[in-house]
Structure 1
Amino acid sequence: MIYLPPLRRYLLPAIIFVTLIISYRALPVPTSLPSFVLHPAPANPQGIHVPISGLQDPLPIANASYNHLSPPNRYYYSYDKTEKTFKDSSNPALWRPELDPSLETLFTCPTEVNRYTGHLRLPDIVQNISQIPPGSLKPESRVFWNPTVIALPYWSDNQYLVVSRIVTDGNHQENVLCEANVCYVGSGEDARPREKPCTQDDLRHVGPGGGMRCASLPVTLSVPPTPAERCEGKFMPYVDIPGFHDPRIFWSGKGEPLMMVNTQSRYACFGLWIIDLRTLHSSLQKLLTSSPSRPSLGPLKSYPTLTELTRNPADTRSQIEKNWFLFFPSSGESYIHYDLSDPQGGFRGRTFAKLLGNGLTTTNLTDPLEQPCLRDLTDAEEPDKMKRGGTWHQATNSLRLVLCHRFDFDCKEKPENTVFFAIVHRKFPNWLKLPLRYERYFMVWSATPPFEMLGISQHPILMGNETASGWSASENWSDDPANDKIVAMTKKTAANATEPYGGKDYWAYFTYTVSISYAWGRQPRVAKDGGDEAEDMHVGYLDDEVLLAIGVDDKGQAFSRVEAGDLVQCLRACTGRNGNKGEGG
């Protein structure tokens, strides 16, 4: 019997193993199998993902709340910037945007404007929104207003998500949320996919024209209270008012359902904060993880908690900030649009910046040579007294629009035929300096850097049954014989809804638009897809319907659905760039 010490007993297997390895390495390597090569180290990340310690021009962030500065210019955009201008031969100093031929549709005017009011009236009607769900037995005494609406993905049991304010005594703010559906009246020929006919109970709450109704009782939205850093003078009473106001809900480029709200600011008196709606409405989290065609955990939350959006540098902030909106050139980038250019030559001009994370932003990225697009006659120059004294402000969130029809497969989405649009209001006061009317205009800008303004509506837009305050019924409707029919379709019957003012000719006499969203039920371009995924919800085509969420006289709420191409028609082209101003102009 052979005996080996404990360590020596492994010697023979080791010799055999080494011999096999040497023999294998001596075999010829087939040409189809490349030799193992170590991959080179990945290149340094670019843009805002560069570590602060690795920047040639480091970011001097001493206090991220008050003293953050933007990175060098080369980090503003994560894709190539291309020259998009050509010189105007009639004015050598003026440069205009080079427009793709597909943009020509924005500047055509197929519809005549009202000869008295100057409005362009679309045939699409305004319909009511009711927060009272089917089967509700409890009387509802609350008054809902200021609605903001988004469509839900195609696999949702309900079509829309609605957030509304409640009229309060002014000592607190209250907002509610519900999922909702639209019912239709008539034969159903014009009904959208999966819409149901209105029941008699529906008609009691939304009126004979049909409308939108909550599917269940609305729930109160609660976000953490925020401190007010500086409420001075006339703003001092605002310090202790609990709750948030003027919410806007919208989809991000990544498919996040977001809500922006006004509430007390850490930097001033009131500022704008943002939060992912999945944090507040758990059903949304379940919905976004249950796509039948693209199962996933849903998009990561950029704003899982309430996050304040900022303006950079700090000395550009105001005591009261409002009406900002975001736009998303790609799924991973977000920009915030603060201000429009002042037609009277205000100190700010158009202002937007790139979000860097945690609510912090770059400084203003507007092309310094861009000329103001808004323009007004002075009161002395304006012959119509009803059009004097107007002021402009941003009104809604933005949407991305491909200037093709959905099923025109010869028209491909590309940067040159893609734009953003949003609604801006022109507010006119009465003789008491109180709001008389809000006029609805659409602004359109490029979807690629430097995101130049392309155009704005030549004329304010009215829906088929809206009335412009300040003019008589006969002037509003130009003695249209269809007026009686329009009023009959839209007259309210609900006790807590907005009744026509001054008689049937004045329905919807004081309206304003709170948000815009692509409407529910769009058909997929690719047959194998069931419909819009969450990341598709903020992008649409010319023949896609846009849902406008509309407030009525601070005591009612409504909506209208209009094809996107009808909303962005008849624009006035913006001036472009002024080559005489120089880089510091």
Structure 2
Amino acid sequence: MLVREFRRLVLLILPLLLLLYTVVRYSRNWSPISYNVTDWIQRIPSVSHVFGTQHEQHVLDSHSDSRNNNTTSGNNGLSGVLLNNEIESSESAHDSFGPDPKNTHIELFSTSTLDGRYFRVSFGDRLAINPNIIPHPLLEDTWIIIANHYSLDNTIPTDFVELACDAVFNEDNTELNCLFPPIPLPIAATGLGKCEGELQYASLNVGPHDARVFYGPRSPFIMYGSNSQETCFGQWIQDFRVLVNWDSGDDLEAINANLEGQEQENFFQLGTELRRPPPYSPMEKNWFLFWDPDGQMYAHYDIAPKRVFAKLEVDGLAGLDLAPSAAIDDERCMEMYMPKPGPVHESIHQSTNSLSITMCRRSDPSCSPSDANTFIFTIFQHKTFHDFHSVYEPYVMLFRRRTPFPVYGISQKPLWIHGRDARNQMFYVTSMSWKARGQKYHGYLDDTLFLNFGIEDRETASIDVLASDLLVGLGYCHET
């Protein structure tokens, strides 16, 4: 009799305990670990499942007023959307288009797919996020693709690698596929980092996060996040050629460069941590490099709430913040054209590497690069995080190529990639590069470039567009 009553009691109490746990688990105020820890782990869906997406709302509330640029970007945040479809299907999760994007965005169409949609970037049977594409140094119609590998088997991943392979398009240009199985890039681990208190968990990190692979004026580089010697998590750089089987006739380039009295780029042979003007954030992310016409290298650290950039030396040391020299004009222009984040769960942050562009057509015989018509451009994103789901809207920013590098123009509307299903579908732009083999940092309006992005933490993709299409609808600073 007592046994029977005990069983009934257990059957009654157990559902109540499960219900109580569920309520507590999904309470907005519940947090097993501070978001600063999970923010370190970039866009790994299984980690989103473990830690819960409430942390993303917490960090946007607590940090957006201080260093918006260092909040989580589309390529390294926790979105709460699981790769294994623990949310609803893509069709049901993104069935709200809202206003026609043709009226609110600049729509981008592929130059190579028949329907103008973006194409997939595939690493075979390996799962990968945060894609990069650069032209192959030797082979025509071949590119090197790079992205973060992840595994659904790791509930709380601590080991991270970047996958790379040579890739070609399929017959209808709807997919860029590896020719051979991708290989991990041999990037060295960087120690424990100065991770204290709630951030001690980040010391478990081994390997690179959220890499950007891009060309400078002559050489390709890989820039990635890893544990820092200065703060908890910082930005590192290495010559990309050291990490892959690279043979592009660089010896001949070096000879020609020496004949012209120019120094060949041969620094960053080992992974080198990049520095910044103080103060440091515990988690530094989303920096990009740029070059002036003389080949001097600079690092751009923040775009909002104010710009921060500095001269960068070949040992990774940074000079003084140069942004105050252009601050008066920049602030006026950015106040006019930058998107305005809402007070809760919204931010502005840097997104891609930079490229240089001359604002006339390569096919025009009278087109000649000068300080008056050549600019540096990058893409930043307006991020919103509502209802446990992130949405990113990309914008272009141009600035002049000589110090103090004032802002020249900003997109008045965000970019819309053709093939995006709905306004609340998460497309996050990670990197960009010129498409043609042999083209490195500089291009013209009629050149084609790749714009690379992730979709809902499920897919890697890209779209090839004319550079001029990115620059439609710019708001020019001199008009303010």
TM-score, normalized by length of structure 1?
0.58
Q: Paired residue for 2:142, among 150, 156, 159?
A: 159
In structure 1, the residue matched to 2:328 is: 369
Counterparts in 2 of 1:295 and 1:391: CA distance versus 1, 3 Å: closer
Counterparts in 2 of 1:575 and 1:157: CA distance versus 1, 3 Å: closer
Q: Quote how far apart the aligned CAs of 1:216 are.
A: 1.8
TM-score, normalized by length of structure 2?
0.70
In structure 1, the residue matched to 2:161 is: 174
Separation (CA, whole Å) in 2 of partners of 1:569 and 1:179: 32
SS at match of 2:372: helix
Separation (CA, whole Å) in 1 of partners of 2:446 and 2:161: 36
Q: Paired residue for 2:472, among 554, 566, 569?
A: 569
Q: Quote how far apart the aligned CAs of 1:233 are.
A: 3.0
Q: Quote how far apart the aligned CAs of 1:114 are.
A: 3.4
Separation (CA, whole Å) in 1 of partners of 2:101 and 2:204: 48
Letter matched to residue 397 of structure 2: M
SS at match of 1:391: strand
Q: Quote how far apart the aligned CAs of 1:152 are.
A: 2.8
Q: Paired residue for 1:144, among 114, 117, 128?
A: 128
Q: Paired residue for 1:519, among 435, 445, 452?
A: 435
Q: Quote how far apart the aligned CAs of 1:117 are.
A: 7.3
SS at match of 1:321: coil
Q: Quote how far apart the aligned CAs of 1:411 are.
A: 1.9
Counterparts in 2 of 1:576 and 1:319: CA distance versus 1, 3 Å: farther
Counterparts in 2 of 1:175 and 1:119: CA distance versus 1, 3 Å: same
Q: Quote how far apart the aligned CAs of 1:469 are.
A: 3.6
Contact kept? 1:543, 1:564, Cα under 8 Å: yes
Mapping of residues 64-75 of structure 1, within 5 Å: none
Q: Which runs of 5 or more residues in structure 2 are unaligned?
A: 1-98, 111-116
Q: Quote how far apart the aligned CAs of 1:468 are.
A: 3.7
Letter matched to residue 326 of structure 1: L
Q: Quote how far apart the aligned CAs of 1:179 are.
A: 1.4
Letter matched to residue 514 of structure 1: T
Separation (CA, whole Å) in 1 of partners of 2:134 and 2:102: 35
Q: Paired residue for 2:104, among 118, 128, 131?
A: 118
Separation (CA, whole Å) in 2 of partners of 1:303 and 1:460: 35
Letter matched to residue 272 of structure 2: T
Letter matched to residue 290 of structure 2: F
SS at match of 1:279: helix
Q: Quote how far apart the aligned CAs of 1:361 are.
A: 1.1
Mapping of residues 467-546 of structure 1, within 5 Å: 467-470=421-424, 509-520=425-436, 532=438, 536-546=439-449
Q: Quote how far apart the aligned CAs of 1:115 are.
A: 6.3
Q: Quote how far apart the aligned CAs of 1:518 are.
A: 0.6
Separation (CA, whole Å) in 2 of partners of 1:223 and 1:326: 20
Contact kept? 1:290, 1:296, Cα under 8 Å: no
Q: CA RMSD in A?
A: 2.7
Contact kept? 1:129, 1:212, Cα under 8 Å: yes
In structure 2, the residue matched to 1:460 is: 414
In structure 2, the residue matched to 1:400 is: 356
Mapping of residues 49-88 of structure 1, within 5 Å: none
SS at match of 2:312: strand
Q: Paired residue for 2:179, among 184, 194, 215?
A: 215
SS at match of 2:462: strand
Separation (CA, whole Å) in 2 of partners of 1:295 and 1:302: 15
Residue-by-residue CA offset, 1:151-209 (whole Å, 9 max, x unaligned): 234x4356211111112322221211111122342xxxxxxxxxxxxxxxxxxxxxxx6
Separation (CA, whole Å) in 1 of partners of 2:456 and 2:449: 22
Q: Quote how far apart the aligned CAs of 1:123 are.
A: 2.9
Residue-by-residue CA offset, 1:315-346 (whole Å, 9 max, x unaligned): x111110000001113531010010131xxxx
Q: Quote how far apart the aligned CAs of 1:551 are.
A: 1.2
Any runs of at least 4 consecutive aligned residues in structure 1 with deviations exceeding 6 A, and if so which? 293-298
Counterparts in 2 of 1:337 and 1:468: CA distance versus 1, 3 Å: farther
Q: Quote how far apart the aligned CAs of 1:229 are.
A: 3.4
- Residue 128 in 1 paired to residue 120 in 2? yes
Q: Quote how far apart the aligned CAs of 1:290 are.
A: 6.5
Contact kept? 2:101, 2:416, Cα under 8 Å: no
Residue-by-residue CA offset, 1:56-79 (whole Å, 9 max, x unaligned): xxxxxxxxxxxxxxxxxxxxxxxx
Separation (CA, whole Å) in 1 of partners of 2:292 and 2:341: 36
Letter matched to residue 159 of structure 1: T
Q: Quote how far apart the aligned CAs of 1:390 are.
A: 2.7
- Residue 551 in 1 paired to residue 441 in 2? no
Contact kept? 1:511, 1:551, Cα under 8 Å: yes
Counterparts in 2 of 1:376 and 1:542: CA distance versus 1, 3 Å: closer
SS at match of 1:370: helix
Mapping of residues 335-350 of structure 1, within 5 Å: 335-342=298-305, 349-350=306-307
Mapping of residues 72-111 of structure 1, within 5 Å: none
Contact kept? 2:109, 2:463, Cα under 8 Å: no
Letter matched to residue 336 of structure 1: A
Contact kept? 1:174, 1:220, Cα under 8 Å: yes
Counterparts in 2 of 1:451 and 1:264: CA distance versus 1, 3 Å: same
In structure 2, the residue matched to 1:229 is: 193
Contact kept? 1:398, 1:420, Cα under 8 Å: yes
Separation (CA, whole Å) in 1 of partners of 2:441 and 2:257: 20
Q: Quote how far apart the aligned CAs of 1:280 are.
A: 1.0
Letter matched to residue 135 of structure 2: A
Counterparts in 2 of 1:544 and 1:286: CA distance versus 1, 3 Å: closer
Contact kept? 1:418, 1:447, Cα under 8 Å: yes
Q: Paired residue for 1:249, among 210, 213, 218?
A: 213
Contact kept? 2:236, 2:273, Cα under 8 Å: yes
Q: Quote how far apart the aligned CAs of 1:119 are.
A: 2.1
Separation (CA, whole Å) in 2 of partners of 1:211 and 1:296: 40
In structure 1, the residue matched to 2:276 is: 311
Letter matched to residue 461 of structure 1: L
SS at match of 2:352: strand
Residue-by-residue CA offset, 1:103-138 (whole Å, 9 max, x unaligned): xxxxxxxxxx93697222223321011122xxxxxx
Separation (CA, whole Å) in 1 of partners of 2:189 and 2:150: 20
In structure 1, the residue matched to 2:382 is: 426
Q: Quote how far apart the aligned CAs of 1:431 are.
A: 2.3
Contact kept? 1:228, 1:267, Cα under 8 Å: no
Q: Which runs of 5 or more residues in structure 1 are unaligned?
A: 1-112, 133-139, 186-208, 343-348, 381-387, 471-508, 522-531, 578-585
Q: Paired residue for 1:414, among 346, 353, 370?
A: 370
How many equivalent pairs are there?
363
SS at match of 1:234: helix
Counterparts in 2 of 1:565 and 1:399: CA distance versus 1, 3 Å: same
Letter matched to residue 321 of structure 2: N
Separation (CA, whole Å) in 1 of partners of 2:341 and 2:417: 28
Letter matched to residue 463 of structure 2: S
Letter matched to residue 279 of structure 1: V
In structure 1, the residue matched to 2:42 is: none
Q: Quote how far apart the aligned CAs of 1:419 are.
A: 0.6
Contact kept? 2:132, 2:431, Cα under 8 Å: yes
Counterparts in 2 of 1:115 and 1:243: CA distance versus 1, 3 Å: closer
